[in-house]
């Protein structure tokens, strides 16, 4: 383990277990021609493992204290960017890649969902293989009827297909976090709902799920959807809760409201 003053505020929980590092690479299905984006290089253990399987890695790290250590590793096919990933636009990050790329990362927990929402809409990203808090992983893969089903589940299945690859116990991290983790693989599939405006659908889903225990009618009208638009839906539908509908049903409801127009909310 490197000598380092671990910073909780950056979500620093490093891994050094060789089997786990290899397992992440296997779960990501890496091959020689791949280009990979890593977020959070940390001590560079995962960066090194990934780099031995692929053509090129671009790895972001916010903590400048790790800079000299990471550069001293001499990883030939890795470019480090020292900065906050959230301060770069999607296209700024993606300009570094010619063609498609994969994300592989042991994500800092405090910004897992913002990172997912930032990258999942990418048109160049093939897949995300990410270590996240177990509960977040369960929300990503949850289907209708599960208590974990919500906005994250709906939007992940809007953009692709998610699978939990393995559960990772907390004792494999240093410092040890107080939750277990899971490796999730999301394969992006842009053909799925290509005709739906994703930003607008995301807004709709946000409205529909805004208060979990309330009916669709309540949540949608509360968020400014007009009476005329609500009248396009059956009473039976309006009196249910968003969590009772799967993605296809939610798309159908959304499509009914917008009619032939693509924008309906603003």
51 contributes a contact to ligand SAH by CB under 6 A: no
Of residues 15 and 220, the one with the C-beta less far from ligand SAH:
15
Of residues 168 and 257, the one with the C-beta less far from ligand SAH:
168
Binding span for ligand SAH by CB under 6 A among 7-15, 25-33, 72-80, 223-231: 7-15
Binding span for ligand SAH by CB under 6 A among 9-17, 119-127, 179-187, 230-238: 9-17
13 contributes a contact to ligand SAH by CB under 6 A: yes
Instruction: State both tokens at 41.
Output: 């290089």
- Tell which one of 45, 127, 153, 181 touches ligand SAH (CB under 6 A): 45
What minimum distance in Å lies between the beta carbon of 169 and ligand SAH?
A: 15
207 contributes a contact to ligand SAH by CB under 6 A: no
- Tell which one of 27, 28, 30, 40 touches ligand SAH (CB under 6 A): 40
Of residues 11 and 150, the one with the C-beta less far from ligand SAH:
11
R_g of the chain, CA atoms, integer Å: 20
**Is there a contact between 158 and 193 (Cβ–Cβ < 8 Å)?**
yes
Order of strands, sheet of 181-188, starting from the edge strand that comes earlier in the sequence:
78-82, 56-61, 35-39, 101-106, 125-133, 181-188, 160-168
For 227, the 3-state DSSP assignment is: helix
Binding span for ligand SAH by CB under 6 A among 28-36, 54-62, 206-214, 235-243: 54-62
Of residues 149 and 173, the one with the C-beta less far from ligand SAH:
173
Instruction: State both tokens at 250.
Output: 């939610």
What minimum distance in Å lies between the beta carbon of 208 and ligand SAH?
A: 30
84 contributes a contact to ligand SAH by CB under 6 A: yes
61 contributes a contact to ligand SAH by CB under 6 A: yes
**Is there a contact between 53 and 31 (Cβ–Cβ < 8 Å)?**
yes
Query: Residues 109, 184, 32, 47: what is their CA dihedral angle, to the nearest 10 degrees?
Result: 20
Residues 6 or more apart in contact with residue 151 via CB below 8 angstroms? 205, 206, 209
| Dihedral of alpha carbons 189, 190, 195, 198, sign | positive
User: Closest by alpha carbon to 85, among 23, 135, 10, 32?
Assistant: 10
With left for phi above 0 and alpha for psi between -120 and 50, is residue 247 left, alpha or beta?
A: alpha
- Tell which one of 49, 50, 62, 162 touches ligand SAH (CB under 6 A): 62
39 contributes a contact to ligand SAH by CB under 6 A: yes
DSSP per-residue string spanning 191-210: TTTTTS-HHHHHHHHHHHTS
120 contributes a contact to ligand SAH by CB under 6 A: no
63 contributes a contact to ligand SAH by CB under 6 A: yes
Binding span for ligand SAH by CB under 6 A among 82-90, 94-102, 149-157, 191-199: 82-90
**Residues at the interface with ligand SAH (CB under 6 A):** 10-15, 39-43, 45-46, 60-63, 84-86, 106, 108, 111
């Amino acid at each position: 383990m490197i000598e380092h003053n671990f910073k909780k505020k950056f979500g620093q929980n490093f891994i050094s277990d060789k089997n786990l590092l290899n397992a992440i690479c296997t779960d990501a299905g890496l091959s020689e021609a791949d280009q990979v984006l890593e977020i959070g290089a940390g001590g560079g253990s995962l960066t090194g493992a990934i780099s031995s399987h692929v053509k090129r890695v671009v790895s972001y790290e916010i903590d400048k204290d790790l800079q000299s250590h990471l550069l001293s590793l001499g990883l030939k096919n890795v470019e480090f960017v020292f900065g906050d990933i959230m301060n770069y636009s999607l296209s700024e990050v993606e300009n570094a890649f010619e063609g498609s790329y994969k994300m592989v990362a042991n994500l800092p927990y405090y910004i897992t969902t913002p990172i997912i929402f930032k990258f999942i809409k990418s048109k160049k990203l093939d897949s995300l293989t990410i270590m996240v808090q177990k509960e977040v992983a369960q929300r990503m893969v949850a289907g209708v009827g599960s208590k974990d089903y919500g906005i994250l589940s709906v939007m992940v299945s809007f953009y692709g297909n998610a699978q939990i690859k393995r559960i990772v116990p907390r004792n494999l991290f240093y410092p040890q976090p107080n939750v277990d983790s899971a490796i999730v693989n999301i394969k992006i599939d842009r053909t799925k709902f290509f005709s739906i405006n994703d930003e607008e659908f995301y807004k709709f889903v946000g409205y529909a799920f805004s208060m979990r225990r309330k009916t669709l009618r309540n949540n949608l009208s509360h968020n400014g959807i007009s009476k005329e638009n609500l009248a396009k839906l059956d009473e039976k539908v309006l009196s249910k809760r968003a969590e009772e509908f799967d993605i296809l049903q939610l798309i159908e409801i959304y499509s009914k409201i917008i009619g032939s127009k693509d924008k309906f909310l603003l």
